[in-house]
Structure 1
Amino acid sequence: MSGSVKVSKQANFSLGHCKVSPADNSVVFDAESKTDGICLSLQPKFIEVLSYLARHYPNVVTRDELIEEIWDGNGYVGTKALTNAIWHLRQQLKPLNSEQPIIETVRKAGYRLLIAPQFNAEDLVDEPDLLRRAEKQINLLQRKLTKFALASGTVLVAVSALLVWHLYHDEVHLIPTVKQQLTKAADAELYPNVSPDGRWLVYGSRGNGKRSSLYLKDLNSPTEMPKRLTSAKSSELRAVWSPDGQMLYYPSQELKDCQIMQLTLDSNEARPLTPCNSYTAALDVSPNGERLVFIWQSNSDATSGLYSFALKETDSLPVRLSCINHCSHRDRDVAFSPDGRYMAISRRFGNISEDIFLLDLTTGQERRLTTGLEDIRGLSWHKDGHRLVFSTENSGVRNGYLIDVEHEGIQALDVEGMSYPRFIPHSNELVYANYIRDYRVTSLALEQSIPTTSFPLLRVEYSYRNPTYSAIAQRIAYVSNETGFNEIWSADSTGNNRRQHTNLKRRVAYPSWSRDGSKIAFLAPDDQNEGNKIHVLDLQTGNIAILATPYLDHNRPSWGWDNETVIASTDDGITEFYLDNRLPQVLSHIDMRLGQMISSQQLLFTRADKDGLWSIDLSQPDKVHVLISEKKFDEGYNWIATEKGIYFRDNQQGFQLINFWRFNTELVTPIIKLPPGTMPRAGSMGYMPELHSLLLTQSQNYKRDVIRLQHKLLQ
């Protein structure tokens, strides 16, 4: 629009193949689109944002202007609400252009609509710029006068309420933080859940070298031994109660068969309800006991998602609630609100960003509550129905947080190690699994005459992981949380002369050296915290470049043979990215976990759909063959190729091995035996050829017990 034309806020307009109607908050796609006839009903604020951007096309509109115009200048609410609105508009308008977002984020400026809107001629009104500015000033003055009048009218009420408020909060602040240890076994106790009457605690216990099982503990008799509920032949870890406390629902897995089970406690009768994928699958039961929701991926699904199962109906089948095709996220956890109106859902974008969404089950509308979290473990509603407690990891440190779902304010509970929190029904207290896990980089000297073990590389108190070594630079790059954020650091081969290379104050991950030792590729969240991008650090200049990509999610990067390309897996498969900002090229549609070039054309890699170590000739990408069979190799990330062979982790029942597979003999030789859980599943390996030593990511596991928590912020 030009500066001398004004358009009504309620004016209808067209964007490509869809028509937008602000009057009824609808978007209708026409016959030329792939979604012919679909009518979407959006939240009024979403439509207001879209209409405002359309009325100011092609100009960039600042965030402050949008918050001022649409949220009346309320920055506290508007800041996150605007981010949420832009995200939803991009998702809903994807049918107009699946290649790029319809709304562009202009860095440090604001937002701009990328498709020219078409308004009806009768909705365009000529108006002098002076009059428009005057009208805007008058409206702004009216808002300020209204706010002043309201403030004056409420001052007496505020003064009288202030005393009551202070008395209440003084009482709350006097409530101490009290932790009571409920379990004391030597195993790892996870996913605690207390029965509706507050008497029984059910939890999963996973011991070293043993299958996971469910246990029941009587909280009224704390000295009694807990009762084992499930068989030693199957694996179970998390369960939820029926509203009457008579039954438990849980995923159970025996070999490759997984079923959601219903256990009636009085009779100890268990019966299968519906298939599942894993015994760790998240699930919850509605407050009225009529439906079960759980995370599942059927044979026809591209990704896992949220399913609903009717518990009161015979021959019920699961019904998918989540996005089905071209999803930018994966659902991870779910929790019903106490009144059954809402579901809180945690979703993962890419592999390092995760956030919480609120689904209104009455209207079907969703709202994003958080932005840019990491590895959420556990969602639970306070009995007031307005607050959620959750656990998340922030740069290697796990903690608990409380969020107000109406105002979206987040408070830290400052309870380090909190994981899988769950409110005790009808109570202000909760239970959680105490989970503290630090990571460190260790070095393992190979082929020593005296048996040896791995030694910590750095003698520092921080958590550090994901080592990668450059023989040319003679330095080890790794991720450390020394500054309070996960950043890229490096050290020499002895762990000395440490340097910090990034200061992004974001969750960087998975560094990888270029073959010439001049650059480091790594992952970090994008600007919207809705995925990740491949970043490249130039060690000589210190500059960081973001590689051109149309994808939201990228798996671990590795370098091409020419030092000018980076290879990573995307939604389309094995993809090659370029340092000169050309768009990437898909090399193969195989879903790769981790790859490593061992020659100019040969790429070794592990894959998501099959075990084994695989090889592909990039000059003939149809030529794919297995190098090490799945019977000998079931690792995803803990492996490294050297000139003579492959070192890799082998996870056995009750212990771990580091094995070596030799190229010339194709034989596997065990190198060292380690305790179970020493090397995490998502760890990594490096190799220092001049020292003939491995670099490993190792975790330090502490015993995980169930804790009962009383906390002033939970009142």
Structure 2
Amino acid sequence: MVKLGIKFELGRCIVDPSDHSLRFLSSLESAEACTTLQPKFIEVLAYLASRFPDVVSREEIIEHIWDGNAYVGSKALTNAIWHLRQQLSPISDEPIIETVRKSGYRLLIEPQYSSADLVDDVDVLQQLQSRAESLTIALKRSWITVAAVSVISLITLAYHLYHDQIKMMEPQVSRLSWGGEAERFPAVSPDGQWLVYGSRNNGQSYSLYLKDLSDFNSSPKRLTSNASREARAVWSSDGTALYFPSTDKRTGDCFIKQFTIATANTVDLSRCNSYMSALDLAPNDTELAYIGFDLDTSTGGLYTVNLQETEAPPRRLSCLVDCNYRDRDLAYSTDGKWLAIARRFGNISEDIFIRNRATGEELRLTEGLEDIRGLSWHQDNKRLVFSTETSGVRNGFIIDISTKQSKALNIAGFSYPSFLANSNALVFERHKKEYQIVYLATDAAVASAPFPMLQSGFSFRNPDYSEQTKRIVYVSNLTGANELWTADINGENRRQLTRLNQRVAYPKWSHDGKNIAFLAPDAKGEGNVIHILNLASQSLSILTSPYIDHGRLNWSHDDSAIFTSTDDGLTQFFLSEHQVKVISDVDIRLAQATNDGRLLFTRDDKNGLWEMELDKPDKLTKIISSSVFREKHNWTVVDNGLFFKANGAGFQQINYWNFSEKALKPIIRLPSSSLSSFGSMSYSIAEQQLLMTLSKYSERDVMMLEHKLLR
């Protein structure tokens, strides 16, 4: 057998695992180029070489390289094989690593080793036993024989105890809820008996439910009525009351409520943003922190209210004017010293701060995270657990507030953690979701469901089609990071366009098909910047901007400028002149320019589809009423109409609106949550296909976690 840690040759390439390098030799056998790869990439290559010429299954590679962690290893292995093929391409024009369908991978070039590096395949424990037996024979029947046997026994016992300990330290995940369409924001009562969480069924509104954890087979009890929406709650310190945001279905008003469980008595405390607004209680219920808004400006932010004073006014902690961030989530430390805050700087950048409650001073813990979903303090008040998404993969982390060092929990779908009182265990919402690009044939005589265009175990989203190039551009996490890719209208001939190794979002073709505009995080991770990719030169440029946050992008009809939303409203960025022009102060979500100088758009503050003439931006006209059109992002204009998503009771519907006839035509109904509220649509006129981002599947369950990193 081959030692995995030694050098070997593949054709003109020397593979050296000791420094994770590939050295390519010229015909003179001198070093011509050296490339350093990630350690895991080299480990995969060395393992395939050690098994040459056999086919090695994915499961076997994951077991040896990633210790059997299928969640991490599956995507990491695909990423490793992709990179190895790229880096080994100088050896041969033919593939070096073969994918054997439904079997695994095989190295196609025989590795060359030094004869000194070939050893017998003997188990470590057997080696120890063999040495001890040799020693026993040499010493014959002396008293050392007894000692040797004892050594063998101790080694064997230690070996098994060690591996038993490793098994015992593996994460223990158990399910606490079943049956709901989406079970969210779990929290356990201080005595550990009761679980409260938000849930809904068949696309109906969220309500709060209470489950008795001492009687696991008992059915959960609904706490709130059909007349309102509730999804997340926190417990009072004595476990007798709940605090939660609640939205009245009829009026749309949102209030933070105090709910006494024994009597079902409810008291309104303060206004909030929505029924999913984050909130938390300080120790001993002295203070409530929540995401609300200023009554005069309707500007969302973080507020606290003193619960020890009757009718105490809320105190705003977030800035009110000239803000470059939005506070979105929060959590008190168990000793009451700190308030952790999840703060978003742009629509794709978010980070964690902790605020000293006594002094008001803030400390930044992270830089350049993507999407934080939940914060919870460890009982030692020195560590914080949080959930974040990296290139479409959601995971949990625990961070030390002193060193700012974080470690991954490696729990798939980890979201909204909440520690049990005086415990190292926590409950969390397990959210599993993947996206795929689908197409819907709009000219079919018989209506059919959307068909997947790209199929694999990775996420594909945000498609945009170019009539000029006959190709789509989209975002995929195939390489381990969200990057831009392109494919033809059949999803074939795929090609990677960017290698930024960070989250890119919302690509948009220019009308002439020569450029692609997209968003990516800025250098500080505190916002996003507009990138322009030129397809001919493969050059990448960044538009100069005084803003740190930009909305979805749209090209002017002559491709000379980009329209997007900023803090000042609808803004135009000129490509050649490096000028920035504010068109209107209206807060736009998505816009589409027409060839007659108009701009069709949706607004953040009002429903309906709107239009403006670019030479008369002060005149705004609603062209589809709010009763018909309430979508913000999932719509696209085609010829004399537009396709858009509409939400119904327990379903979603794709509609077509005819501008001339002012008539609505239903196209197809889909299950609720099929299309994300932050998705996108595009249309191929030639193929008469509507392209969309579909949620491949979505699960939200309440789970309990015990983990060695939480001890």
**Match for 2:518: what amino acid?**
F
CA deviations on 1:250-272 (whole Å, 9 max, x unpaired) are 01111212111111112221121
Which residue number in structure 2 is paired with residue 312 of structure 1? 308
Corresponding position: 1:613 with 2:609: yes
Q: 2:389 & 2:481 partners in 1: Cα distance? A: 11
Q: 1:289 & 1:524 partners in 2: Cα distance? A: 41
Corresponding position: 1:520 with 2:516: yes
Which residue number in structure 1 is paired with residue 202 of structure 2? 208
**Match for 2:475: what amino acid?**
V
SS at match of 1:436: strand
SS at match of 1:419: strand
Corresponding position: 1:498 with 2:494: yes
Corresponding position: 1:372 with 2:368: yes
Which residue number in structure 2 is paired with residue 266 of structure 1? 262
| Contact 1:547/1:579 (<8 A) preserved | yes
Task: Report the Cα offset of residue 198 of structure 1.
Answer: 1.3
**Match for 1:622: what amino acid?**
D
Task: Report the Cα offset of residue 207 of structure 1.
Answer: 2.1
Task: Report the Cα offset of residue 342 of structure 1.
Answer: 0.4
Which residue number in structure 1 is paired with residue 445 of structure 2? 449
CA deviations on 1:3-61 (whole Å, 9 max, x unpaired) are xxxxxxxxxxxxxxxxxxxxxxxxxxxxxxxxxxxxxxxxxxxxxxxxxxxxxxxxxxx
Q: 1:674 & 1:627 partners in 2: Cα distance? A: 26
SS at match of 2:458: coil
Task: Report the Cα offset of residue 277 of structure 1.
Answer: 2.0
CA deviations on 1:77-106 (whole Å, 9 max, x unpaired) are xxxxxxxxxxxxxxxxxxxxxxxxxxxxxx
Match 2:347 to one of 351, 355, 358: 351
Task: Report the Cα offset of residue 171 of structure 1.
Answer: 6.3
Match 2:219 to one of 222, 225, 228: 225
SS at match of 1:537: strand
Match 1:195 to one of 189, 196, 206: 189
Identity %: 50
After the TM superposition, which residues 488-567 of structure 1 pair with which residues of structure 2 at under 5 Å, given as runs? 488-567=484-563
Which range moves more in the overlay, 696-705 or 375-384?
Answer: 696-705
Which residue number in structure 2 is paired with residue 237 of structure 1? 231
Which residue number in structure 2 is paired with residue 403 of structure 1? 399
**Match for 1:479: what amino acid?**
V
Which residue number in structure 1 is paired with residue 338 of structure 2? 342
**Match for 2:303: what amino acid?**
Y
Which residue number in structure 1 is paired with residue 574 of structure 2? 578
Task: Report the Cα offset of residue 479 of structure 1.
Answer: 0.3
Which residue number in structure 2 is paired with residue 694 of structure 1? 690
Task: Report the Cα offset of residue 302 of structure 1.
Answer: 5.8
Which residue number in structure 2 is paired with residue 251 of structure 1? 245
Q: 1:395 & 1:402 partners in 2: Cα distance? A: 19
SS at match of 2:284: coil
| Contact 2:180/2:199 (<8 A) preserved | no
Q: 2:181 & 2:373 partners in 1: Cα distance? A: 19
**Match for 1:431: what amino acid?**
V
| Contact 1:202/1:239 (<8 A) preserved | yes
Task: Report the Cα offset of residue 176 of structure 1.
Answer: 2.5
| Contact 1:191/1:420 (<8 A) preserved | yes
Which residue number in structure 2 is paired with residue 182 of structure 1? 176
Corresponding position: 1:429 with 2:425: yes
Distance 1:308 1:186, change over 3 A: closer
TM (normalized to structure 2)?
0.76
Task: Report the Cα offset of residue 276 of structure 1.
Answer: 1.4
**Match for 1:317: what amino acid?**
P
Q: 2:163 & 2:187 partners in 1: Cα distance? A: 29
Task: Report the Cα offset of residue 459 of structure 1.
Answer: 1.9
Which residue number in structure 2 is paired with residue 51 of structure 1? none
Task: Report the Cα offset of residue 701 of structure 1.
Answer: 2.9
Q: 1:662 & 1:424 partners in 2: Cα distance? A: 55
SS at match of 1:681: coil
After the TM superposition, which residues 291-330 of structure 1 pair with which residues of structure 2 at under 5 Å, given as runs? 291-301=287-297, 303-330=299-326
CA deviations on 1:164-221 (whole Å, 9 max, x unpaired) are xxx9999688422111111011321100001111111111102232111111111111
Q: 2:401 & 2:465 partners in 1: Cα distance? A: 45
Which residue number in structure 2 is paired with residue 40 of structure 1? none
Corresponding position: 1:477 with 2:473: yes
Corresponding position: 1:282 with 2:278: yes
Corresponding position: 1:705 with 2:701: yes
CA deviations on 1:231-286 (whole Å, 9 max, x unpaired) are 12211000001111111000111121211111111222112111212100000000
**Match for 1:497: what amino acid?**
N
SS at match of 2:229: coil
CA deviations on 1:638-687 (whole Å, 9 max, x unpaired) are 00001121110011111111111112101111111111111100000000
**Match for 1:185: what amino acid?**
G
**Match for 1:587: what amino acid?**
I
| Contact 1:172/1:712 (<8 A) preserved | no
**Match for 2:190: what amino acid?**
P
| Contact 1:303/1:330 (<8 A) preserved | no
Q: 1:471 & 1:240 partners in 2: Cα distance? A: 52
**Ranges in structure 1 where 5+ consecutive residues have no aligned partner:** 1-166
Distance 1:471 1:521, change over 3 A: same
CA RMSD of aligned residues (A): 1.5
Q: 1:562 & 1:599 partners in 2: Cα distance? A: 8
Q: 1:393 & 1:583 partners in 2: Cα distance? A: 34
Which range moves more in the overlay, 474-483 or 618-627?
Answer: 618-627
**Match for 1:175: what amino acid?**
M
SS at match of 1:713: helix
Task: Report the Cα offset of residue 700 of structure 1.
Answer: 2.4
| Contact 1:548/1:581 (<8 A) preserved | no
Which residue number in structure 1 is paired with residue 382 of structure 2? 386
SS at match of 2:709: helix
Which residue number in structure 2 is paired with residue 111 of structure 1? none
Corresponding position: 1:626 with 2:622: yes
Q: 1:248 & 1:673 partners in 2: Cα distance? A: 38
CA deviations on 1:294-330 (whole Å, 9 max, x unpaired) are 0011232363111011112112221111111111100
Task: Report the Cα offset of residue 558 of structure 1.
Answer: 0.6
SS at match of 2:285: coil
